[in-house]
C-alpha cells in the first residue's frame, strides 16, 4: 500500500473548516508545520500549536515527542536504552520531511502535520489518521492512528479480554481489584505497549507516559485507533521488524530485560493467605515431602507480621524466624515473605520512626505526610521516587536477609488504600523534580520493586539473586520482578483469562509471570483444580495460592485421584527444568517470553486470533499447550503449519488442521513441534537436590531446521555475567539429517557427565556418531505415571508412551554430530 493521497484532500477540507481550538471546546490540534531543523538523526519541528522532536533511536525504532510548549527535560523510569548512532537520510521540501534508515522510512506531512511509517518498499506500516493526527482537549493529549483493513491489536500488558483487542478500549490506572471479574479493566499494572498486525507487517508502539492513559482500538468508532494520556507530553516509540519476535526484542531493548532468576524460584511454590503459626508451615512442608510432591518454596502472607506491620514478625506465631528458614532450607524449601508499602503511623515502631527521621514519606502540599488506611491501620507510604526512600527501603530489608528469607513479594503497591481513592495532591519527589500522585500513581509499583530488587540484592551480599514478585508495575518491570495476576477467582473463566493475561504480558516484554493456580477466592472443584494445576505446570512461575476462609488448596486436599494427576505434572515440570531454565536464558538474551501466544510465531495466520483458539500457546519453542476449562468434554483445537507430536504417545498430527478432541481430567492436551530439541533431567524433589549425571535430550524428527541454546549456570549468583556459565547450541538440520552439538561455551563445567539423546519419530537404522556407525538402542519414552483406577477393576491405567531410539555419549566440551 502506497501512502494515500487522502492527506492532501483532507488537508484542504481541514483548512476550510472552522477552527475548533476555541476557548469553548478547549481542543487544540497540532496544526501545520512552520519550521523544521535537522540535527543528525533528529528533526526538531515547530507547528502552529506544538513542539515536536522526531528521533531515530535505532534503525528500526523511531521516537516521537510533542507538547504544546517547549519540550521539557527528557526522563523515563521505563526506558534504559540510549539512542544508537544510525545512518539516516533526511530530506525535506515545502510539503514534507522524509527520514530513511536501512529498515524503514518515515514521512512527515507539513500541512497539517501527520506522520506515516512505511517499509523501504513504501508499504504503509502505520500512519496518523488524516485530519486528526494528535490533539489536546485541555491537558488530555491523544494521538489517532488510521486503522488498516483487518488490523489486529495485541499486547498492552495485563489486560483482560480477547487476544485481538480490536473493537475494545482500555484504561491504564493501576488498581487494587480484589476478586476482579474475568473481563474487568483496569487491573493492577500498566504497560502502554501494543503490537499491530496487518498485511504481512507488524509494528509496536510504546507510549511512555505515566499519567492515566487510554487505548482505543476501534471502540465506538470505525475510523481510528488511538492512545491518550491525561497529562504530560505525547511521547511514543514506534518500532518495526520483519518478525513479531523482533518487535518484542526492540521493546525489551528499550525497557530492559530479565536477569536470570534464581533456579529455586522456577520450582513449585506452595502459598496460602495465610500459613501460620510455624507449626502449620512445617506441616505443609513435611506433607509435600511425604507425598513426594516436588516443591521449592513456601510463601508467608500478612499473618506472619506483628499486627500487619511491615518488617516485623508476630513472635507468638513465629518465635524463631531464623530457625524456621534454617529448618525449611534443610528440607529444600526457600521462604518468600509478603511486603506491603504502607508503614503504620505509630511512634515507637522502629520502621516508622526511622522513616520519619529520614523524611522519606510521600507528602501533601503542606509538607505533612500523606496518611492512608491499609492492613495495619493508618499508614504513611515511602516515596520510592526519592533516592532517599529507596535507600531507606534497602536498609529495612536487611532484617529479612538476616532472618534467612530468600524472596520478597511486593503487594498492595498500586498503591492500594482502603477506599481506593488516594488524593490527587499527594506530592512525590520524582528524582528531585517533583510530581503529583496523578503522574506517579502508575509508576509507584515499578519503583517499589526496583527498591526491593536493588535493596535485597545488596542485603544478600550483592552476588546472590533475590526473588522478587509483584502485583503492580509499569513498563520495564521485567528488570526487577516476576509478576502474578492478582486476586483471581476459583472459576473456569478465570483460569482461561489467566492464560490470556500471561500471554499478553509475554507479548509486552514480561517473561516471568504466573497466576494464583487453583484460584484465590472461592473454592475450586476437583476437576477445576486438576486442570489448573496441569496448566500451571506450563506457566513460567507456578504458584498455588488461596484465600483465608476458603478450603485448603494443597494438592492432597482434593482426593487421591487429583493428587496423582497434580503430582504427575509437577514431576514433569521438574524434569523439564533444564528446558525451562534455558528458555529463561533466551528471554534474558532477546526478550522472547517463556509463555508465547501463537501470534509470535504464527503472526499472519488468522486462526490464532480466533476466539476459539486464542488461548493456545507455546511453552518455550517446543510445546504447544491447548488449555481448556474443566467442564468442556470435546475441545476444538487448531494445529498451525508443520507437524506436531502428541507429547504422551508420539502420535503425529499434521498442521494447518482444525480438530475436535476428547478431553479427560487426567490429561492436558500438549503437543511437541517437529524438529524440537528438549533437554530434561531425572526427577528431583527440590532444586537443592542434584539430578543424576545424565542429561536427556529429546529430539523430534521434522522437516524444518531448528536450533536450541542449552544453558546452565550455578542458579543463584551473578557470576554468569562474568562468563561463569555452560552453554552449547544444539542444531537440527533436516536437509543434512544431522543433529549437531556445538562446542561448549563459558568457563563452567556442565553438571551432567553424560548425554542421552532420545530420537522421536526416527526410523533410520544407519545412525552415525561423528561419521562412525553407532548402534542406537531401542527404548521406550513415557513422561507420565499412569493414574490409578479408583474402582475394583484394576490397579492403574495403561502406560502411555512411545517406542524410540536412544544413544548415550560422554558429555565432552567439544563438538559432536549425530547423523541418521
Residue found by looking up cell 496518611 in the block: 371
66 in Cβ contact with 233 (< 8 Å): yes
State the burial class of residue 33 (Cβ atoms within 10 Å of its Cβ: 0-12, 13-18, 19+).
buried
- Output the CA–CA distances (angstroms, integers) from residue 690 to 29, 114, 264, in the order listed: 64, 60, 12
C-alpha angle 67/73/77, rounded to 5°?
A: 100
How distant, in Å, are the alpha carbons of 237, 445, 588 from that of 249?
13, 24, 10
Q: Which residues are bridge partners to 191 per DSSP?
A: none
Euclidean distance between CA atoms 382 and 361, whole angstroms? 4
Mention every residue, 6+ apart, whose C-beta is less than 8 A from residue 542: 266, 267, 268, 269, 514, 517, 536, 570, 573
The residue from 296, 487, 614, 802 that is catalytic is: 487
Per the residue annotation, which of 129, 345, 411, 454 is the catalytic one? 411
**45 contact partners, CB below 8 Å, separation of at least 6:** 33, 35, 36, 51, 52, 53, 54, 97, 108, 113
Compute how many other C-beta atoms are within 10 angstroms of the C-beta atom of residue 635. Answer: 16
**Interatomic CA distance for residues 646 and 637, integer angstroms:** 13
487 is catalytic: yes
103 and 239 in contact (C-beta within 8 Å)?
Answer: no
CB 301 within 8 A of CB 616: no
The DSSP symbol for 664 reads B
DSSP per-residue string spanning 156-200: -SS--S-SS-TT-EEEE-----TT--TT-SS-SB---EEEEEETT
Residue closest to 616 by CA, chosen among 592, 595, 597, 594: 597
Of 278, 296, 414, 564, catalytic:
414
Q: Which residue has the cell 521449592?
A: 296
Measured CA to CA, the distance from residue 628 to residue 616 in angstroms comes to 9
Reading across the β-sheet that carries 124-127, which strands appear in turn? 89-92, 96-100, 105-110, 113-118, 124-127
What value, to the nearest 5°, has the Cα angle with vertex 428 and ends 445 and 65? Answer: 80
How far is 659 from 765, CA to CA, in rounded Å?
34
Cβ atoms of residues 95 and 108 within 8 Å = no
To which H or E segment does residue 272 belong?
A: strand 269-272
- 277 preceded by cis ω (within 30°)? yes
Cα–Cα dist 338/137, whole Å: 42
Per DSSP, 264 falls in state G
Residue 775 corresponds to which cell in the numbers above? 548402534
Residue 411 is a catalytic residue = yes
Residue 658: left (phi > 0), alpha (psi -120 to 50), or beta?
beta
Geometric angle at alpha carbon 454, from 450 and 457, rounded to 5°: 140
Q: Which three cell numbers stand for residue 7?
A: 492527506
Interstrand relation of 543-544 and 269-272 (parallel, antiparallel or unpaired): parallel
Nearest to 754 by CA among 710, 698, 712, 810: 810
Number of other CB atoms surrounding residue 799 within 10 Å: 10
Q: Catalytic residue positions?
A: 411, 414, 487
Amino acid at each position: 500500500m502506497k501512502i494515500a493521497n487522502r492527506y492532501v484532500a483532507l488537508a484542504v477540507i481541514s483548512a476550510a473548516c472552522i477552527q475548533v481550538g476555541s476557548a469553548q471546546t478547549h481542543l487544540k490540534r497540532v496544526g501545520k508545520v512552520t519550521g523544521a531543523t535537522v540535527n543528525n538523526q533528529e528533526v526538531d519541528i515547530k507547528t502552529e500549536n506544538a513542539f515536536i522532536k522526531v528521533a531515530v533511536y535505532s534503525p528500526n525504532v523511531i521516537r516521537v515527542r510533542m507538547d504544546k510548549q517547549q519540550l521539557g527535560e527528557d526522563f523515563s523510569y521505563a526506558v534504559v536504552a540510549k539512542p544508537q548512532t544510525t545512518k539516516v537520510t533526511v530530506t525535506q521540501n515545502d510539503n514534507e520531511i522524509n527520514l530513511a534508515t536501512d529498515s524503514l522510512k518515515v514521512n512527515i506531512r507539513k500541512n497539517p502535520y501527520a506522520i506515516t511509517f512505511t517499509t523501504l518498499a513504501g508499504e504503509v506500516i502505520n500512519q496518523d489518521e488524516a485530519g486528526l493526527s494528535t490533539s489536546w482537549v485541555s491537558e488530555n493529549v491523544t494521538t489517532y492512528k488510521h486503522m488498516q483493513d483487518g488490523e489486529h491489536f495485541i499486547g498492552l500488558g495485563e489486560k483482560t479480554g480477547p487476544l485481538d483487542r480490536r473493537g475494545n478500549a482500555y484504561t491504564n490506572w493501576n488498581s487494587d481489584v480484589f476478586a476482579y471479574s474475568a473481563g474487568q479493566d483496569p487491573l493492577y499494572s500498566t504497560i502502554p505497549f501494543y503490537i499491530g498486525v496487518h498485511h504481512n507487517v507488524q509494528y509496536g508502539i510504546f507510549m511512555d507516559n505515566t499519567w492515566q492513559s487510554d487505548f482505543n482500538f476501534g471502540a465506538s468508532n470505525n475510523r481510528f485507533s488511538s492512545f491518550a494520556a491525561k497529562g504530560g507530553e505525547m511521547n511514543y516509540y514506534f518500532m518495526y521488524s520483519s518478525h513479531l519476535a523482533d518487535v518484542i526484542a526492540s521493546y525489551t531493548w528499550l525497557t530492559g530485560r530479565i536477569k536470570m532468576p534464581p533456579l529455586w524460584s522456577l520450582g513449585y511454590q506452595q502459598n496460602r493467605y495465610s500459613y501460620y503459626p510455624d507449626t502449620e508451615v512445617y506441616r505443609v512442608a513435611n506433607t509435600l515431602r511425604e507425598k513426594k510432591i516436588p516443591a521449592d518454596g513456601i510463601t508467608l502472607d500478612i499473618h506472619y507480621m506483628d499486627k500487619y506491620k511491615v518488617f516485623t514478625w508476630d513472635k507468638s506465631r513465629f518465635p524463631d524466624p531464623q530457625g524456621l528458614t534454617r529448618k525449611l532450607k534443610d528440607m529444600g524449601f526457600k521462604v518468600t515473605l509478603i511486603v506491603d508499602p504502607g508503614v503504620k503511623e505509630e511512634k515507637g515502631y522502629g520502621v516508622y520512626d526511622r522513616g520519619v527521621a529520614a523524611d522519606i514519606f510521600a507528602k501533601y502540599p503542606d509538607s505533612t505526610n500523606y496518611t492512608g488506611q491499609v492492613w495495619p491501620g493508618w499508614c504513611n507510604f515511602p516515596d520510592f521516587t526519592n533516592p532517599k526512600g529507596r535507600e531507606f527501603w534497602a536498609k529495612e530489608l536487611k532484617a529479612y536477609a538476616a532472618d534467612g528469607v530468600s524472596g520478597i513479594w511486593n503487594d498492595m503497591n498500586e498503591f492500594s488504600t482502603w477506599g481506593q481513592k488516594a488524593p490527587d495532591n499527594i506530592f512525590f519527589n520524582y528524582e528531585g523534580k517533583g510530581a503529583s500522585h496523578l503522574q506517579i500513581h502508575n509508576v509507584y509499583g515499578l519503583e517499589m520493586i526496583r527498591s526491593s530488587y536493588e535493596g535485597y540484592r545488596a542485603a544478600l551480599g550483592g552476588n546472590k539473586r533475590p526473588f522478587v514478585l509483584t502485583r503492580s508495575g509499569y513498563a520495564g518491570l521485567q528488570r526487577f520482578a516476576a509478576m502474578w495476576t492478582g486476586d483471581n477467582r476459583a472459576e473456569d473463566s478465570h483460569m482461561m483469562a489467566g492464560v490470556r493475561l500471561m500471554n499478553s504480558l509475554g507479548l509486552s516484554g514480561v517473561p516471568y509471570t504466573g497466576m494464583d493456580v487453583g484460584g484465590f477466592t472461592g473454592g475450586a472443584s476437583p476437576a477445576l483444580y486438576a486442570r489448573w494445576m496441569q496448566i500451571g505446570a506450563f506457566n513460567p512461575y507456578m504458584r498455588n495460592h488461596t484465600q483465608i476462609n476458603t478450603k485448603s488448596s494443597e494438592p492432597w486436599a482434593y482426593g487421591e485421584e487429583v493428587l496423582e494427576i497434580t503430582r504427575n505434572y509437577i514431576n514433569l515440570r521438574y524434569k523439564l527444568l533444564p528446558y525451562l531454565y534455558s528458555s529463561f536464558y533466551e528471554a534474558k538474551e532477546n526478550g522472547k517470553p517463556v509463555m508465547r501466544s501463537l501470534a509470535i510465531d504464527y503472526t499472519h495466520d488468522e486462526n490464532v486470533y480466533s476466539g476459539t483458539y486464542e488461548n493456545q500457546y507455546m511453552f518455550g519453542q517446543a510445546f504447544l499447550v491447548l488449555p481448556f476449562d474443566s467442564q468442556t468434554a470435546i475441545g476444538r483445537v487448531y494445529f498451525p503449519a508443520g507437524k506436531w507430536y502428541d507429547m504422551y504417545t508420539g502420535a503425529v498430527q499434521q498442521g494447518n488442521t482444525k480438530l475436535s478432541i476428547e478431553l479427560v481430567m487426567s490429561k492436558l492436551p500438549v503437543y511437541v513441534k517437529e524438529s524440537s530439541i528438549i533437554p530434561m533431567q531425572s526427577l528431583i524433589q527440590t532444586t537443592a537436590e542434584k539430578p543424576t549425571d545424565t542429561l536427556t535430550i529429546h529430539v523430534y524428527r521434522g522437516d524444518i531446521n531448528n536450533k536450541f541454546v542449552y544453558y546452565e549456570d550455578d542458579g543463584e549468583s551473578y557470576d554468569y555475567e562474568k562468563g561463569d556459565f555452560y552453554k552449547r547450541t544444539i542444531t537440527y538440520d533436516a536437509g543434512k539429517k544431522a543433529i549437531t552439538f556445538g562446542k561448549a561455551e563459558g568457563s563452567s563445567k556442565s553438571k551432567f557427565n553424560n548425554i542421552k539423546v532420545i530420537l522421536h519419530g526416527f526410523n533410520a537404522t544407519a545412525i552415525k556418531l561423528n561419521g562412525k556407525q553407532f548402534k542406537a538402542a531401542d527404548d521406550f519414552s513415557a513422561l507420565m505415571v499412569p493414574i490409578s483406577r479408583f474402582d475394583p477393576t484394576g490397579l492403574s491405567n495403561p502406560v502411555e508412551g512411545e517406542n524410540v531410539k536412544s544413544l548415550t555419549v560422554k558429555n565432552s566440551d567439544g563438538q559432536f554430530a549425530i547423523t541418521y
